[in-house]
Structure 1
Amino acid sequence: MAVDETRRLQDIVAMRRVRDRIDREFAQPLNLEELARGAHMSAGHLSREFRRIYGESPYSYLMTRRIERAMTLLRRGDLSVTEVCFAVGSSSLGTFSTRFTELVGVPPSVYRRDHSQAGAGIPPCLARQVMRPVRNREAPLLTPGLG
């Protein structure tokens, strides 16, 4: 195996660890320097590799993850939009609402109104499976032979 290919595979493993950490800690502020230290690379290299592998920046991925979680909380219907905003780690209601609208197509208040009873009558164990956001999208593989 060539040295370059070995390095690329190591970067892919490191990026999966970074992505997994973002998935686990999405409600915490994103600290790119800390993520980079954990991946044993510079913040710039982490950002470039993350974008190359997943097709978006770490911050964009984090915001998308937060919006997916917010959708789940809004469907429950027991929290206000402001409570959901802070529960998913956003510190600005305006930024949260703008990003939510960009990704989902409607403002969070409209989404909550239209979807809050979507799970009525469904057993909770089934509702969790049906309503769970799915987020395992990766950018198309550009390098032949990896994958």
Structure 2
Amino acid sequence: MTWVEAQEERNRRLLRARDAIDVHYRERLDVPRLARIALMGRAHFIREFKAAFGETPHRYLQRRRVERAMYLLRWTDRTVTDVCMEVGFTSLGTFTRTFGEIVGESPTRYRAGADRPDGFVPGSFTMRWTRPSG
């Protein structure tokens, strides 16, 4: 197998793990399970995932959950606790802290700002998209 073929195979395995997160974000997913999907050891998987996607598998999972929570908070009347459990968090405190870290405001405050124009992008997302890579 050439180096290029090995890299393509590595990328395919990492994409399978990322796809598993995207599809099963509500479920209890842990790094060992994701590493098995990618056919890698735990530590190696974490390093390779971060190198490929810019964040650890755990943080990627949290961000996917928060993105779904943002939608539910904006477009449904479900309580913050219901949204927290629906997207896969098991602790309201962890959900609120993680939501705040990623979005830049609490879930309740985010919901209160739902009357913003549809084009609103939280500052933390803008900072991430515009930060220099490297």
Whether TM-score is above 0.5 comes out as yes
The separation in 2 between residues aligned to 1:76 and 1:91, in whole angstroms, is 22
Q: What residue number does 1:65 align with?
A: 64
The answer on 1:86 being equivalent to 2:85 is: yes
Runs of 4+ in 1 over 2 A off after TM superposition: 2-5
Larger radius of gyration: 1
Partner of 2:110, secondary structure, is helix
Cα deviation, residue 39, structure 1: 1.8
- Give the number of equivalent residue pairs: 124
Give 1:59-138 correspondences, 5 Å limit.
Answer: 59-115=58-114
Q: Is the 8 A contact 2:89 2:95 kept in 1?
A: yes
Q: Per-residue CA shift, 1:9-35, capped at 9, x if unaligned?
A: 111111111111100000111222222
Q: Which AA in structure 1 matches 2:81?
A: T
Q: Per-residue CA shift, 1:47-82, capped at 9, x if unaligned?
A: 111001001100000000000000000001310111
Q: Per-residue CA shift, 1:86-129, capped at 9, x if unaligned?
A: 000001111111111111111000111221x569xxxxxxx9xx
The answer on 1:21 being equivalent to 2:27 is: no
Q: What residue number does 1:37 align with?
A: 36
Partner of 1:30, secondary structure, is coil
Q: Is the 8 A contact 1:26 1:66 kept in 2?
A: yes
- TM norm structure 1: 0.75
Q: Is the 8 A contact 1:85 1:93 kept in 2?
A: yes
Asked which structure has the greater RCO (Cα within 8 Å, sep 6+), the reply is: 1
**Structure 2 gap segments, 5+ residues each:** 121-128
Q: Which AA in structure 2 matches 1:51?
A: K
Q: CA RMSD in A?
A: 2.5
Q: Which AA in structure 1 matches 2:6?
A: R
- TM norm structure 2: 0.82
**Structure 1 gap segments, 5+ residues each:** 120-126, 132-136, 143-147
The separation in 1 between residues aligned to 2:116 and 2:106, in whole angstroms, is 17
